[in-house]
Every structure is written in structure tokens, then in C-alpha cells.
Amino acid sequence: MRTIWSIGLNKYKKMEIIPIESGPVFTIGYLVNDSTSNEALIIDIPYGSADRFIQLLSSKNSRLIAIIITHTHWDHTADVSKLYEQVNAPVYLFKDDEYRLLEPNKYSVFPLPFELESYAQSRYVNHNHIIKCGSLEIEVRHTPGHTEGGICLVEHNHRVVFTGVSVG
């Protein structure tokens, strides 16, 4: 795993973004680490990524404060239950997308060679909600289209946007 971006406005505020590609359709989840506080977020949790994220958090000595789901198609959420069981960090998503986490096997467009675990302990975000992670402030933008509850995440100070699959 390598850091894809290490963005610093100055030596005191740094945002590190580490992608994890995983699962049968090569979905990418992200560890976002505030290197000034060692607080971290995970954005999307593809199939097979939970253990890799746990190892990464440990190697960085980071404390996970939140898991954020950009939308609830299975390829972005398959390991959410497994990761939550290990780290007990709150899971945030837009309420309109929760039904696919509650019954994930029901909403795949094709048969999967594995069973997905349901997850029912989500916290909800709204448009313009701010999630703080150390010195980082991540703004939630509701961007329905790909799914009815899809969101983008914007960190204005570093000019970074996480889109999930909101384009196209």
C-alpha cells in the first residue's frame, strides 16, 4: 500500500490519502489520515478490504473516528460489518441508501459468489453536514443519481473531493 497523495497546506496541516483496491470488481476505498492528530476516516469498504484497513491503521498508529459510505452498492460496502466489529467506529451514510445495507443480498444486480452481511447501526448525514477528523473538515454533499442517497465528500482546505461513483 502506498500513499497516493500527501497534501500539506503547511507543515502543520497535512492530509494523507491512501487507496485500497479490493474485491472482484476492483473497487477503491480510502484511508484519509490527518497526520497532525493521527485521526483517520475510511471512505467506502470494498469486499476483502477490512483486514487491510486494520493493518494500515495499525502501521500508521492512527485512530479511526468514522467510516463513511458514499453509496450503498455492495462493492462499496461489502466489508462494513466486518470492519465495524473490529474497530467499533461510527458508520455514516445518507438515509435514502440505508435499505441496501439492511438487506444487501437482495439488491445485487447479479448473483454474488459470497454472502454479504447486513449492517443496521448507521448514523445519518445530511447535505452540508461536516465530519471533523483532526484538523480536517469533510463536508457532505448529497449527490443523488447513481443511487438515491449517494454523497460526495469535500475537504475544502486541501481541495479534495471523494465522489464514490457520483459521476456518469
Query: How many angstroms separate the CA atoms of 130 and 151, rounded?
Result: 13
> What's the pTM?
0.90
Taking the mean position of all CA atoms in its chain, how far away is CA 159? 18
Q: What's the confidence (pLDDT) of residue 7?
A: 52
Dihedral angle, C-alpha 50, 31, 86, 91, nearest 10 °: -100
149 touches 93 (CB < 8 A):
yes
What pLDDT digit, counting tens, does each position of 104-163 carry? 999 888 888 899 999 999 999 999 999 999 999 999 999 998 899 999 999 999 999 999
Q: What's the confidence (pLDDT) of residue 9?
A: 43
pLDDT band at 18 (very low <50, low <70, confident <90, very high): very high
